[in-house]
């Protein structure tokens, strides 16, 4: 898998559902360049078990993302019609009604493949027929993209392992603090704690003051 840190996020234009039920034919992350940081995350499939816990957890924290001027965008290999149906299914029935941030459709799996999170690959069998090896869905990838469209952080979990939304917010805070102050953030850093200068001397000073 290609390392995308420090590189432009792969571009795409795809169908999506926004605001909990509106179809958009040509949704793109380009709309946020120069305007917002983006948390772009992949999940395996609609109408599953772990996925709604993550999707709903992002929605529960939307106030935190919005006050940091961060757009949250989800993506799976389902169609926009599947997204719409799930978004209009009540929580008690396994749905995610109430989620308002965009969900992108990646039915062709090209977005997941370009971001390096597709949980398998296309190949050929002994008869020369095209087959898919692995799971034809996306791993639980998360990408933090800055206002210039550069990927600054990513984490990829295997299918059974749900993510920490609090950690995603902490990484947003760390990136924005660095951008605003030029100081780097040590392990487990949180807003209000000491950061340090990006040099050996700065590290030594930070450790001596702990």
Residues with a catalytic annotation lie at 51
Q: Among candidates 84, 71, 91, 60, which has minimal Cα distance to 28?
A: 71
Q: Are 191 and 180 in contact (CB under 8 A)?
A: no
Q: Among candidates 47, 12, 50, which has minimal Cα distance to 31?
A: 12
Q: Are 185 and 176 in contact (CB under 8 A)?
A: no
φ, ψ dihedrals at 57, nearest 5°: -65, -40
Distance CA 103, CA 85 (A): 12
Enclosing H/E stretch for 9:
none
- Torsion over CA: 163, 157, 161, 193 (sign): negative
């Amino acid at each position: 898998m290609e390392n995308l840190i420090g590189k432009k996020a792969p571009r795409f234009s795809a169908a999506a559902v926004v605001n909990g039920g509106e179809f958009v034919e040509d949704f793109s992350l380009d709309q946020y360049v120069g305007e917002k940081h983006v948390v772009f995350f992949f999940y395996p499939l609609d109408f599953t078990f772990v996925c709604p816990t993550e999707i709903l957890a992002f929605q529960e924290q939307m106030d935190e993302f919005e006050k940091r001027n961060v757009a949250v965008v989800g993506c799976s290999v389902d169609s926009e019609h599947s997204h719409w149906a799930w978004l209009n299914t009540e929580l008690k029935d396994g749905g995610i009604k109430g989620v308002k941030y965009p969900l992108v459709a990646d039915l062709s799996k090209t977005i997941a493949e370009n971001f390096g999170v597709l949980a398998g690959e296309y190949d050929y069998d002994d008869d020369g027929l095209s087959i898919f090896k692995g799971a034809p869905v996306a791993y639980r990838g998360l990408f933090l993209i800055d206002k210039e469209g550069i990927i600054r952080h990513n984490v990829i979990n295997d299918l059974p392992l749900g993510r920490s939304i609090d950690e995603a917010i902490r990484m947003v805070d760390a990136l924005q603090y660095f951008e605003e102050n030029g100081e780097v953030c040590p392990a487990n850093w949180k807003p209000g704690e000491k950061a340090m200068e990006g040099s050996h001397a700065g590290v030594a000073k930070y450790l001596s003051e702990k």
